[in-house]
């Protein structure tokens, strides 16, 4: 299936319930503008849906994303900096909160005041941080070494095979699944608490909140499914 065909499949899904309340009926050109041009849009969507079902398509999308300067030198650094800042601020806030509760004559009972996800954001964050370190080692470090250290020539056919091999070990697959479940919980509470902390309360709040919850569940669990799928469907030679 071509990039354009995958694009129209995703576009059709976005226009169905419950997503139609968030996405108006857009033409493919309007969709492309939102995602900074048609190839980046197709690459992002393709790496997600084409990943599982079509090795050729996944290789094509991954190769484009891996060598596109906008992705590599603009979007990727912004994402990395954002993640680092988020974790640093999370640790700072956790330390400040503990200091604020450190009163000897007050017994703090977290379970009576906050849900499990809220009380353990720092721990789920630490697991996610460890997972990100493994993920960077598995894919980003390997990619940087392949392109810039070893100076290998471009090989548009290598990505699918390399990805499937990563999920051959049972322990790595389980770690990815557990991490994505924790990421889902982390995002679910994070979106809700951020809206509350910023005092966001207008006619768009309900829609944004619903979209955030859908995103927090669907995206991490979809990636968890990818890990399980590749573990159960290894490449046989």
Question: What is the average pLDDT across 104-110?
Answer: 54
Distance separating alpha carbons of residues 103 and 113, to the nearest angstrom: 17
Return the closest-CA partner of residue 62 out of 156, 147, 167.
156
The predicted structure's pLDDT at residue 93: 84
The first and second tokens of residue 64, run together, are 């484009």
**Does residue 4 carry a pLDDT above 60?**
no
Q: Contact at 8 Å (CB) between 216 and 184? A: yes
CATH of domain 109-237: 1.20.1300
Range in 63-67, 191-195, 213-217, 219-223 the model is least confident about: 191-195
C-alpha to C-alpha distance for 155 and 59, rounded to whole angstroms: 9
Taking the C-alpha atoms of residue 144 and residue 158, their distance in angstroms, rounded to an integer, is: 15
State the Rg of the chain over Cα. 20
Q: What is the mean pLDDT of residues 212-223?
A: 89
Instruction: List, in sequence order, every beta strand (DSSP E) within the chain.
Output: none
User: Chain-wide mean pLDDT for the chain?
Assistant: 77
Residue that wins the pLDDT comparison between 66 and 235: 66
Q: Are 230 and 167 in contact (CB under 8 A)?
A: yes
Least confident of 51-55, 100-104, 125-129, 222-226: 100-104
Question: For position 38, what pLDDT does the model report?
Answer: 46
Q: For residue 170, what pLDDT band results from cuts at 50, 70 and 90?
A: very high
Residue 20: pLDDT over 80:
no
Q: What is the mean pLDDT of residues 34-58?
A: 58
Specify the higher pLDDT residue, 146 or 196.
Answer: 146
Other CB atoms within a 10 A radius of the CB of residue 153 amount to 5
pLDDT at 109 over 80: no
What is the DSSP code (8-state) at residue 17? T
**Phi, psi (5° rounding) for residue 57?**
-65, -45
The pLDDT-based confidence of 21 (bands split at 50, 70, 90) is very low
Structure tokens at 85: 């800042």
d(CA 232, CA 168): 8
Amino acid 36: pLDDT: 44
Q: Measuring CA to CA, which residue among 216, 219, 228 is closest to residue 175?
A: 228
| CA dist., res. 3 & res. 59, Å (int) | 12
Say if residue 200's pLDDT is above 60. yes
Cα of 53 vs its chain's centroid, Å: 19
Q: How confident is the model at residue 74 (pLDDT cuts 50, 70, 90)?
A: very high
Q: Which residues contact 190 (CB under 8 A, 6 or more apart)?
A: 121, 216
Summarize the confidence of residues 181-206 as an average pLDDT: 81
Domain ranges in the chain are 1-67, 69-105, 109-237
């Amino acid at each position: 299936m071509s990039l354009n065909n995958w694009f129209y499949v995703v576009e059709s899904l976005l226009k169905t319930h419950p997503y139609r309340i968030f996405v108006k009926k857009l033409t493919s050109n309007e969709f492309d503008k939102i995602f900074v041009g048609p190839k980046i849009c197709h690459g992002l969507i393709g790496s997600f849906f084409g990943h599982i079902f079509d090795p050729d398509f996944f290789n094509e999308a991954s190769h484009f994303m891996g060598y596109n300067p906008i992705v590599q030198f603009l979007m990727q650094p912004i994402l990395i900096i954002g993640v680092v800042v988020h974790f640093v601020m999370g640790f700072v806030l956790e330390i400040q909160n503990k200091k604020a509760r450190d009163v000897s004559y007050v017994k703090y009972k977290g379970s009576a005041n906050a849900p499990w996800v809220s009380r353990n954001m720092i721990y789920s964050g630490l697991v996610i941080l460890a997972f990100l370190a493994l993920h960077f080692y598995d894919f980003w470090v390997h990619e940087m070494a392949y392109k810039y250290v070893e100076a290998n020539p471009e090989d548009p056919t290598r990505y699918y095979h390399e990805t499937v091999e990563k999920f051959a070990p049972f322990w790595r697959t389980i770690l990815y699944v557990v991490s994505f479940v924790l990421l889902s919980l982390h995002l679910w509470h994070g979106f809700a608490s951020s809206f509350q902390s910023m005092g966001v309360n207008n006619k768009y709040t309900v829609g944004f909140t619903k979209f955030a919850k859908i995103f927090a569940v669907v995206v991490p669990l979809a990636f968890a499914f990818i890990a399980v799928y590749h573990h159960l469907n290894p490449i046989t030679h």
